[in-house]
Structure 1
Amino acid sequence: MKSEFEWKERMAKYNGIFTEPPKNIPTDKVVDGPLIGNGDVGVVISGSPERQRLWISKTDFWKAKRLYPNGSPCLLGGMDIHIPALAKASYYSEQRLLEAEVASVFHHDTTSVSINYWVPAGENVVIVELSCEGDADVPITVDLWVQEGNESKTEEGRQDDIAWVSRKFNGADLDWPTEGAIAMRCLGGGRESISLQPGIKTYIVAYVLTNHNVEEYQQESVGKAGLMDENRMELLRSEHKQWWSRFWAKSEIEIGDDVLEKYWYGSHYIMACCSRNKAFPPGLFGNWITTDDPAWAGDYHLNYNYQAPWWGVYSSNHIELSEPYDTPLREYMPNGRKYAEQYLGVKGIYYDVGIGPKGLPTALSSSQASIKYENGHLFLGQKSNAAYCAINMLMRYYYSYDMQYASQEAYPFLLEVADFWEDYLKFEGNRYVIYRDAVHEVPTFTDSHPDDEWLKELEEKNPILSLALIRAVFKGLLNMSHELNLDLNRRDKWSHIVEHISHFPTFQRDGKTIFRLTEEGRDWRNDNTLAIQHIWPAGAIGLGSDPKLLDIAKDTITVLNRWTDYNGFPTIFTAAARVGYDPEVILHELRRQCLEHSYPNLFIFFGGGGIECCSGVPSAINEMLMQSHEHVIKLFPTWPRGRNARFTNLRAVGAFMVSSELADDNVINVDIISEKGRTCTIVNPWPMEDVVVMEKYGDIHKKIEVQLSGDIVSFTTEAGKSYILGPERQQ
């Protein structure tokens, strides 16, 4: 166990370092400035030392207008901190992961100003701490501002020493109103002016609330700002530190590569800063919105972008960050039922590509061409969106075996997906077949094509991803049905679909047998990674699969060669790890992406990516260190020989937390915590030797099994108990 000092020293290596002001703010995509957030309020900082700008946004600040691309998260407002004495000063900022704060130091001649920015983990207030060193006071002015335009109404005012601004989207053409306010107060100074004195800390606070938090959001924000003092901030700081300490203690990796470790921890930091509002999950670009026109409406894109950010949190033992995920999917179910019945004449749910919170359709096209093909919606030829949404629910279920979650959230949604595919699938020649389901987006919204040749993609048969998603959904339903003792009468049908769904199509390319995108229709595409998404995240293939299938999978990854891809980062590396691809290649290419496609704030960014890229490093590294596909734990299954590694409390399917270490090609310890008391099955870490299992009571170990023999061993567990595994020779 590392000391607190050692842990702080190690985490400091992963901080985001800025030696010049950000260049990519404002932007319609990913920001490049220092980031803070509490899972609801997000702040990104830009500007030169003499004018620091804080851009303040919130996961629930949406303009709820249906017509694409008008329905989107929008910018609320911000603060400008003017420090004229810092003109031409040096620039240095740290985005500190352990403390969840940004610390900046600006030097100029005889003046030095330090500014710390943080958002308390449990309260929607932005806190700015300022101090200076030098021979004279440093005058500062602060401007509070609100974003205007885009059919919004704005107001500003003052109450005693508090300035406030508000922005409202409440027009009659909106599905629901969104209104928000920022109330700012300078402690120890005037309303908007401060005189920094050497050695004395000064504060600026800004409360941020919306009508989705509390009905009287403006009064509440002003009132809370008025009550803020140093004692209150000290309490918030203590709670903030405790929250983040607990967060970082949940799991750990050490793999001898500071770059990959940095982005493993950094990706979790970004997700923790933007994904904790259970009613409003983050859109494509998190809660760092700096424009009213985010790309692709900044919405929830359901053909992988929305799902991807959370793919790493399940195995990293941060399931709590996924709690907001289900909310908009559940809220959209009435729309999905209506679309399935009206447009396809089937039961269940049929989701378009883009949705928003509270049942908001964000993918309604203004183009008349789309009305001909998709009733004015942007389904883009795809039938698989709802099934794709189910993958995250299945991940959460398998990794936690939380039966309350299964019964209340996952199972009802999966039933609707099953209803759809039971109606939509065709049973022909002893197999189930999918027709008219595009593997890639078909631009049905455009009217630029002279004929309908481009619409042939709408006629595609058996897209490979949909085949895998269907397998996953029905296998998951069978598992949950048994665990919950529900729908016995439907299990035969579900089993029949799993057993008779069409095989994955293959073809010859570059002298290799590889996966084909569809059985009939598009065979291949030189961008994107849809040729391997049936492996990850759909989970159709793993190290326990048929060796011939594994060879096809690895050859497909070789031919695909999409280590650098506009949309592929969240999938290619983890898919490669899942099937045992060359680990040296995986680590080399993953490291290269971190170095070549990242910002100092630890965002990994490609042209089509946002927070989706937060899963790329965690899910790939976790899968290389430990796999639990099909309920079998495999330690260091895709890890280079001769490279030491260790991990603590990675989550395995079956609700197990596993810790282990590899040193000199030997597994030297295995600790397993059983949350739900399920049978634990593990590939023997010590081939040709028997495995001893001991219960762990603090520092006392009690042997419960002496000889577990074979390549794969299993033992029963009890909920809440810890176990240590070792080879018989060490006992």
Structure 2
Amino acid sequence: MEAVEWKQRVEKYKGIFTEPPKIVPTDKVVDSPVIGNGDLGVTISGKPEQQRIWISKNDFWKAQLMYSNGSPCLLGGIDVHIPDLANASYYSEQRLDEATIVSTFHGAAASVKMTSWISSLENVLIVELSSEKQAVSVTLDLWVQTGNGSETEQGQDGDTAWAVRKFTGEGIEWPTEGAIAMCSSSGSHSFELQPGTKQYIVASVVTNHDEYNYLQESISRAGLIDEKRIASLRSEHTDWWSGFWAKSAIEIGDELLEKFWYGSHYIMACCSRNKKFAPGLFGNWITTDNPEWAGDYHLNYNYQAPWWGVYSSNHIELSEPYDTPLLEYMVNGRRYAEEYLGCRGIYYDVGIGPKGLPTALCNTPYENGHMFLGQKSNSALSTVNMLMRFYYTYDLEYARFVYPFMIEVANFWEDYLTFEDGRYVIYRDAIHEVGTYTESHDNEDWDRGLEDMNPILSLALIRMLFKGLLDISGQLQLDGDRHEKWTHILEHISDYPTFEREGKTIFRLTEQGHEWWGDNTLAIQHIWPAGGIGLDSDPQLLQIAKDTITVLNRWTDYNGFPTIFTAAARVGYDPETILRELRRQCSEHSFPNLFIFFGGGGIECCSGVPSAINEMLLQSHEQVIKLFPVWPQEKAARFHNLRAVGAFLVSSELSEGKVTYIDLTSEKGRICSILNPWSNGEFSIIEKDGAGDQQREVEWQLSGNIISFNTEAGKSYRLLGH
């Protein structure tokens, strides 16, 4: 795909709104148009005559203990009053290509266009107003959320209005203070919008996590923005988003699925770029002080899931915030492991917050006043993303950064596993919240009653963890003396439990305890995201996996959207079924802003479409690149710069049932292995010179159906069948 082509593809996809949003404010996912720069988030609701701009930010947290006191909170917003638009028609576009909301309101008395965007590089909101028919009166009201133990202030500095909200003082673990400074190009907050002219509203948002003198900084930044500066910011903004969309692209002959593929990446780019503060369950579009489940970082899949699509989509930069809260919580995790379980390593609650904030403390006699919910797997599940990033990039600097976390997880499992009868066994690790237990208000009885043994997800995570540590420690030349133990665990960990259901052998959730959970996709999470089974697995195991998906039949699931479709692709389930059911979910469980919503969370659903489609087009987790491995062969498709394990960027096309080419760029110079897509065995490999003038054939080896060849870091290659 040439640059013009991919830009044209994303330009066609928009969120379209023909009536005002219905569920803002909300404690879950908004249904309104959204924009963001990865830290600052804005959504807009209301009728044409009163547009309400909601402003939130990833670092605006109330850091108070005890569930559900600690959570991200609403900062404030701006109301735009235009009385002449009463009874006007409503139309709004959320434009993905340039991260802009463009709204047009047509009424008998007035027609107004309102264009809103957030600078991709600064926490500044720009709103442009223009009138088509006649002069209209505009009044702006700046406000901040009140209550919930917060302090608020408002004032005026020259032409700039400002408002502050603070969470400080007794009971607050660390202070959060934020300011919004607003001004307009008219110099007033009440003005006449003349036809044929434009007026700008500028809002600068700064918190104490950005700047010590955050209020003064917000006022200063707002005052410096004039039309020349707006033009400069707009140019930088456009360039950033153009560069973002250039990183990867797909064309699959299905505009609905393409729209949600691009839309999911858009949402993640809008909410996940602040390296110090990761987005919570609902991103940076918080419209209440009481988001569901505290809006925190839920570690039994919800927190990890949003990023599962960005690695293979070549948007590694969006995963930068992911590790921060996990590493910040290690002090707590070490203490919990030692005090509560007598183990080394780290033991994490189901929910955590930024800066080491425990969000899952509760006034119960169970589990020492924490919500571990019987699960020992939260920290291991958190290494899934770390290992995805490592294998897709082979970035040794990153590996060295997260290695201490992974070692602590290994320390925990080395101590917690029981070796008996020639195998490693897991006791008292719940597959679900809270597992099977004896009802009792005695802590000792509670612990003894957690009967789940060998939960299937933990068995897969242990395999994933220790294999990953062997690979990473080998690359870093660390802990060679521990390899024997890790290898022994891998060779002797218990098998995945199975049982008979509906006449088929399928996976059982635990070896002892829960055998099945009819309304949840826990039975396939060992496939995805844990990566325990793939197309090269034992055929009998693959059949069990496919039969499990058939019996499960949970394409629509409260929690399962980020897992079921990609798991099905991983094991070669019928691609027509995957695409049909994925399309149905996108149609029936989505908002116009391209959020896919289910009961269990918000931005977690952003991985569902990208990870599933990417795995259908390209698989590589078994160290061999497979082109269109789970795709209807009669259905044309092509993709640009999807990322493969081994730090390869791959582009290819399927046309009339044949792979026409494979373009590949090697970032780390590793050996490349590709499943030969040309049945006649005739092909060539050309090293492409950067200037396009010189090319040379590359030597390759063919072992069975696997093409292997050496690559050089930074070099590009083209494979063609003959």
Q: Does 1:403 align with 2:396?
A: yes
Identity %: 70
Partner AA of 1:541 in structure 2: I
Distance in 1, Cα, partners of 2:539 & 2:71: 46
Partner AA of 2:504 in structure 1: K
Distance in 2, Cα, partners of 1:707 & 1:528: 45
Task: State the partner residue of 1:43.
Answer: 42
Q: Does 1:78 align with 2:72?
A: no
Distance in 1, Cα, partners of 2:98 & 2:228: 19
Q: CA deviation at 1:641?
A: 2.3
Distance in 2, Cα, partners of 1:452 & 1:340: 16
Partner AA of 2:255 in structure 1: D
Q: 1:245 aligns with which of 239, 242, 247?
A: 242
Q: 1:454 to 1:690 in 2, by over 3 A?
A: farther
Q: Does 1:571 align with 2:568?
A: no
Give deviations 1:315-352, integer Å, cap 9, x for gaps: 00000000000000000000000000000001000000
Task: State the partner residue of 2:343.
Answer: 346
List aligned pairs for 1:462-481, cutoff 5 A: 462-481=454-473
Distance in 2, Cα, partners of 1:260 & 1:457: 45
Q: 2:521 aligns with which of 529, 532, 536?
A: 529
Distance in 2, Cα, partners of 1:387 & 1:464: 13
Alpha-carbon contact 1:695-1:704 (below 8 Å) kept:
yes
Task: State the partner residue of 1:609.
Answer: 601
Alpha-carbon contact 1:690-1:710 (below 8 Å) kept:
no
Alpha-carbon contact 2:436-2:514 (below 8 Å) kept:
no
Q: CA deviation at 1:89?
A: 0.2
List aligned pairs for 1:346-495, cutoff 5 A: 346-366=343-363, 368=364, 371=365, 373-409=366-402, 411-442=403-434, 458-495=450-487
Q: 1:337 to 1:454 in 2, by over 3 A?
A: closer
Task: State the partner residue of 2:630.
Answer: 638
Alpha-carbon contact 1:186-1:193 (below 8 Å) kept:
no
Give deviations 1:151-182, integer Å, cap 9, x for gaps: 00000000100000000000221110000000
Partner AA of 2:375 in structure 1: Q
Alpha-carbon contact 2:163-2:179 (below 8 Å) kept:
yes
Task: State the partner residue of 2:172.
Answer: 174
Task: State the partner residue of 2:52.
Answer: 53
Alpha-carbon contact 1:576-1:586 (below 8 Å) kept:
yes
Q: CA deviation at 1:282?
A: 0.1
Task: State the partner residue of 2:493.
Answer: 501
Q: Does 1:598 align with 2:590?
A: yes
Q: 1:365 to 1:160 in 2, by over 3 A?
A: same
Q: CA deviation at 1:710?
A: 3.3
Partner AA of 2:664 in structure 1: I
Distance in 2, Cα, partners of 1:10 & 1:552: 39
Distance in 2, Cα, partners of 1:444 & 1:152: 40
List aligned pairs for 1:202-281, cutoff 5 A: 202-281=199-278
Partner AA of 1:696 in structure 2: K
Distance in 1, Cα, partners of 2:442 & 2:386: 42
Task: State the partner residue of 2:148.
Answer: 150
Instruction: Report the more deviating stretch, 204-213 or 691-700.
Output: 691-700
Partner AA of 1:692 in structure 2: S
Task: State the partner residue of 1:650.
Answer: 642
Alpha-carbon contact 2:641-2:650 (below 8 Å) kept:
yes
Instruction: Report the more deviating stretch, 644-653 or 709-718.
Output: 709-718
Task: State the partner residue of 1:704.
Answer: 698
Q: Does 1:686 align with 2:678?
A: yes
Partner AA of 2:316 in structure 1: I
Q: Does 1:284 align with 2:281?
A: yes
Give deviations 1:229-260, integer Å, cap 9, x for gaps: 01111110011011000000000000000000
Secondary structure in structure 2 of the residue aligned to 1:631 = coil
Q: CA deviation at 1:12?
A: 3.3
Partner AA of 2:150 in structure 1: S
Q: 1:685 to 1:374 in 2, by over 3 A?
A: same
Task: State the partner residue of 1:299.
Answer: 296
Alpha-carbon contact 1:132-1:196 (below 8 Å) kept:
yes
Q: CA deviation at 1:538?
A: 0.2
Partner AA of 1:546 in structure 2: D
Structure 2 alignment gaps of length 5 or more: none
Distance in 1, Cα, partners of 2:513 & 2:680: 49
Secondary structure in structure 1 of the residue aligned to 2:219 = helix
Q: 1:249 to 1:357 in 2, by over 3 A?
A: same
Instruction: Report the more deviating stretch, 109-118 or 497-506.
Output: 109-118
Give deviations 1:497-556, integer Å, cap 9, x for gaps: 111100000000000000000000000010111100000000010001000000000000
Distance in 1, Cα, partners of 2:470 & 2:169: 46
Secondary structure in structure 2 of the residue aligned to 1:85 = helix
Q: CA deviation at 1:629?
A: 1.6
Distance in 2, Cα, partners of 1:268 & 1:350: 32
Secondary structure in structure 1 of the residue aligned to 2:148 = coil
Alpha-carbon contact 1:63-1:73 (below 8 Å) kept:
yes
Task: Give every structure 1 segment of 4 or more consecutive aligned residues whose post-TM-superposition deviation is greater than 6 Å.
Answer: 443-457
Give deviations 1:433-483, integer Å, cap 9, x for gaps: 000000001189999999999988711100000000000000000000111
Partner AA of 1:598 in structure 2: S
Secondary structure in structure 2 of the residue aligned to 1:459 = coil
Partner AA of 1:201 in structure 2: K
Alpha-carbon contact 1:690-1:709 (below 8 Å) kept:
no
Q: 1:498 to 1:663 in 2, by over 3 A?
A: same
Task: State the partner residue of 1:23.
Answer: 22
Partner AA of 1:221 in structure 2: S
Partner AA of 1:153 in structure 2: E
Q: 2:655 aligns with which of 649, 663, 671?
A: 663
Q: Does 1:561 align with 2:560?
A: no
Distance in 2, Cα, partners of 1:601 & 1:445: 42
Secondary structure in structure 2 of the residue aligned to 1:91 = strand
Instruction: Report the more deviating stretch, 444-453 or 548-557.
Output: 444-453
Distance in 2, Cα, partners of 1:444 & 1:362: 24
Secondary structure in structure 1 of the residue aligned to 2:411 = helix
Q: 1:22 to 1:453 in 2, by over 3 A?
A: farther
Q: CA deviation at 1:10?
A: 3.0
Give deviations 1:289-310, integer Å, cap 9, x for gaps: 0000000000000000000000
Q: CA deviation at 1:123?
A: 0.3
Distance in 2, Cα, partners of 1:545 & 1:457: 35
Give deviations 1:404-442, integer Å, cap 9, x for gaps: 000122x11110000000000001111100000000011
Alpha-carbon contact 2:436-2:450 (below 8 Å) kept:
no
Q: CA deviation at 1:189?
A: 3.9
List aligned pairs for 1:58-207, cutoff 5 A: 58-109=57-108, 111-134=110-133, 136-190=134-188, 192-207=189-204
Structure 1 alignment gaps of length 5 or more: none
Partner AA of 1:497 in structure 2: I
Secondary structure in structure 2 of the residue aligned to 1:261 = helix
Secondary structure in structure 2 of the residue aligned to 1:223 = helix
Alpha-carbon contact 1:33-1:601 (below 8 Å) kept:
yes
List aligned pairs for 1:330-341, cutoff 5 A: 330-341=327-338
Partner AA of 1:22 in structure 2: P
Distance in 2, Cα, partners of 1:167 & 1:149: 10
Instruction: Report the more deviating stretch, 579-588 or 168-177.
Output: 168-177
Q: 1:33 to 1:627 in 2, by over 3 A?
A: same
Distance in 1, Cα, partners of 2:262 & 2:573: 24
Give deviations 1:75-114, integer Å, cap 9, x for gaps: 0000000000100000000000001000000001252100
Distance in 1, Cα, partners of 2:92 & 2:459: 48
Secondary structure in structure 2 of the residue aligned to 1:259 = helix
